[in-house]
Structure 1
């Protein structure tokens, strides 16, 4: 099994690249989706968040009001770090469980773990390869404004809350330039997929 960590910055197109790899036959584990699962009402991470940030971050149905929580944490780096500290252990446990289930059924699998904060959390050693989806910072801001309806200041706030995308490049084993067209990105994925298959084969059956 080959464990690939897919990362990038906000609005860089990690999800798009992940879906392309999934279409090729990879197993995709989305850390944002895992976070939503462990933050369901009465789950340990949910209780930790409510204890820390108060019931005002809940909707009437007791689910997290992510817009309100986001407004709180993206305005204060310490609060964002605290939120990550509360959620990440449960997400990592869920990731390991998914990996074990895949390995049991498909020992030859290529697993793509979409991990937004892979580099920030120093998780390079937990994956076999780091795949970085890259677009320039100005393009991140433009896409956030178009996609999310943010003001420029709101988009800047979210981009600044993360490690600069350029600083992540040295950690990448594979760099996916996603600043062009969808067709260009798909062509790149078509080209690297055989390389991933070969790396998995060599890892599983070393010479």
Structure 2
């Protein structure tokens, strides 16, 4: 199995691209979805957020007031780091668990939708290809203003908290320019999907893993022969 990662900036259109893969039968691990699930009322992350940020960050139904918390952490880097220390380890464990589940199921490849891929560096050594969904800064800002109903200054703070899109594009294997129509974006995503379906990388990965396991077993067998690591078992009659 191999992993294809989708990243980009806030409001650049990652979800649109992820849906194309999902609709075509490719499993998508969505970090944002996991992030929402782990802060539901009563969950350990919810308890820690309430403890650190107070009940002012809760809605009447006890859910996290994401708008209020967002305004707070994007105005204070230290508070943003505190929140990340609460949520990121839990998100990363959930992602690793899902990756292992798909590997054991025999999937050829999967997609990891992770906005902060380059910022966190999670699984970078295991990712085969990276897709960055990009658009120009004006389009990004306008989409964010409309989607989240933010004040322009708050929207800019959220955008600036992430790695610049230009740098993400430079580090990627594919870049999808999402300034055009949805049909154009979907067509480019389908092109990449077809390329990945044609790839034999999953076989190379599995053969490499089998070779690694064989090397371990052979080394263990050889050491046992030379140094008698595992002594012969003596069974006594009772």
> What TM-score, normalized to structure 1?
0.91
Report the equivalent of 2:115: 116
Matched, 1:79 2:79: yes
Contact 1:108 1:204 in 2 (8 A): no
Report the equivalent of 2:150: 150
Contact 1:6 1:132 in 2 (8 A): yes
SS of the residue corresponding to residue 119 of structure 2 reads coil
Contact 1:27 1:112 in 2 (8 A): yes
- Superposed displacement of residue 205, structure 1: 4.3
What value does the CA root-mean-square deviation take over the aligned residues?
A: 1.7
State the distance in 1 between where 2:165 and 2:62 align. Answer: 35
Report the equivalent of 1:170: 170
State the distance in 1 between where 2:46 and 2:131 align. Answer: 30
SS of the residue corresponding to residue 115 of structure 2 reads coil
- Superposed displacement of residue 165, structure 1: 1.0
Gaps of 5+ in 1: none
Contact 1:3 1:112 in 2 (8 A): yes
Gaps of 5+ in 2: 208-238
Contact 2:39 2:45 in 1 (8 A): yes
* Greater radius of gyration (CA): 2
State the distance in 2 between where 1:119 and 1:22 align. Answer: 23
Contact 2:2 2:126 in 1 (8 A): no
State the distance in 1 between where 2:93 and 2:4 align. Answer: 17
Report the equivalent of 1:22: 22
Report the equivalent of 1:65: 65
- Superposed displacement of residue 181, structure 1: 1.1
- Superposed displacement of residue 22, structure 1: 1.0
Give the length in aligned residue pairs: 205
Matches within 5 A, 1:39-58: 39-58=39-58
- Superposed displacement of residue 54, structure 1: 1.6
Contact 1:27 1:109 in 2 (8 A): no
> What TM-score, normalized to structure 2?
0.80
